[in-house]
Structure 1
Amino acid sequence: MKKEIGEWLVAIIVAVVLIVIIRSFLFVSYTVDGLSMDPTFEDEDRVVVNKFMQHFSEYETGEVVVFHSEAGPAYVKRVIGTPGDTVTMEDKQVHVNGEPLEEDYVVHTEDTYMDNFTLPELGVEGEALPEGEYLVLGDNRPVSRDSRDFGTVDESQIVGEVQLRFWPLNRIAVNFE
């Protein structure tokens, strides 16, 4: 009996240590709050964020990330501009480095929202995003709080890239670019 209790105790301790390691260094789950990423994500969707890959590569335009902001809790948004990029929006069309950005995920275009900006108008010094700074926007632009409201996001604020939606079960998906 003592041996069996000891084996269970060791198994439980190993499981707890593995969970702590995985959540601290590899993956963590978040719940989407609000409709700012509709139709890609809906309110209460649950996603898995890859924290590990951020140590090996920079985030790219189109990737969906979770980050912390002084403006509130963790946000889920899409990377639109990366360090060195020039980004503008005119008449609801985003331009990155002078080229129009193809954004099939933006479907809420009939509503009004801030549709004209340049980086200096968002508080960026110069015409290009500085090293370590990203411009992020929600897919549902009329209701999204994003870089248009609180400026660029420093790389240190980014938790990681969204890799998987696991809830609701009928909407499980990967690859949100």
Structure 2
Amino acid sequence: MEWVMAIAVAIVLIMVIRAFFFVTYTVDGLSMEPTLDHGDRVVVNKFMDHFTDYEYEDVIVFDSEMGPAYVKRVIGAPGDNVEMDDKQVYINGEAIEEEYVVHTEDSYMDNFTLGDLGVEGDVIPEDHYLVLGDNRPVSRDGRDFGLIHEDSIVGEVQLRFWPLNEIAISF
């Protein structure tokens, strides 16, 4: 009887943790290389979503209307003006350094403004974010589907735990 009770408590704890605190995802695709590779397993912190806003460079998971959840990097937050010119991203007029980005000659949509993404006005509206993949030449991201609403965000990637030889905390 003790074993049954211990197993039941463990199952309930796992369900509560997955529902409110942490969840795991498998990276599907090449859009976040070199930061995250296809098949990497990550832990997403759902709990902090209720207490903090997402900021530039946070790697997040969000639900997509186009299929499975996406893993992307936050490039613009509410109130930011974001544009790209000749593969250089500018936030509020300042060029940002993106050491994690893959650049090739074959990239698409190297220039955009928020207006090109369907945003009315000069800044990202409240409760919305602009996300881009690190591997820009192959990433389906905000350049394709525009801004994402904060309600679609599952949480921030906190840990890569697979493969074991590449365990990393935060990105």
**Superposed counterparts of 1:60-79, under 5 Å:** 60-79=55-74
- Give the corresponding residue for 2:151: 156
- Give the corresponding residue for 2:76: 81
1:43, CA displacement in angstroms?
0.4
The amino acid across from 2:46 in the alignment is K
Structure 1 segments unaligned to the other structure (5+ residues): 1-5
- Give the corresponding residue for 1:166: 161
Contact persistence 1:133–1:155 (CA under 8 A): yes
* Secondary structure in structure 2 of the residue aligned to 1:118: coil
Q: Distance in 1 between matches of 2:123 and 2:12?
A: 43
Contact persistence 1:71–1:150 (CA under 8 A): no
The amino acid across from 1:174 in the alignment is I
- Give the corresponding residue for 1:109: 104
The amino acid across from 2:86 in the alignment is D
Q: Percent identity?
A: 71
Structure 2 segments unaligned to the other structure (5+ residues): none
Q: Distance in 1 between matches of 2:113 and 2:145?
A: 14
1:125 to 120, 129, 152: 120
1:50 aligns with 2:48: no
Q: For the aligned residues, what is the CA RMSD? A: 0.8
- Give the corresponding residue for 1:96: 91
- Give the corresponding residue for 2:29: 34
Q: What's the TM-score, normalizing by structure 1?
A: 0.95
Contact persistence 2:108–2:137 (CA under 8 A): yes
* Secondary structure in structure 2 of the residue aligned to 1:53: helix
Q: Deviations over 1:76-106 (max 9, x none)?
A: 0000000000000000000001101110001
The amino acid across from 2:2 in the alignment is E
1:175, CA displacement in angstroms?
1.9
Contact persistence 1:94–1:100 (CA under 8 A): yes
Contact persistence 2:56–2:76 (CA under 8 A): yes
Q: Distance in 2 between matches of 1:93 and 1:109?
A: 13
1:8, CA displacement in angstroms?
0.4
The runs of at least 4 aligned residues of structure 1 exceeding 2 Å deviation read: 107-112
Q: Distance in 2 between matches of 1:110 and 1:62?
A: 24
Q: What's the TM-score, normalizing by structure 2?
A: 0.98
The amino acid across from 1:10 in the alignment is M
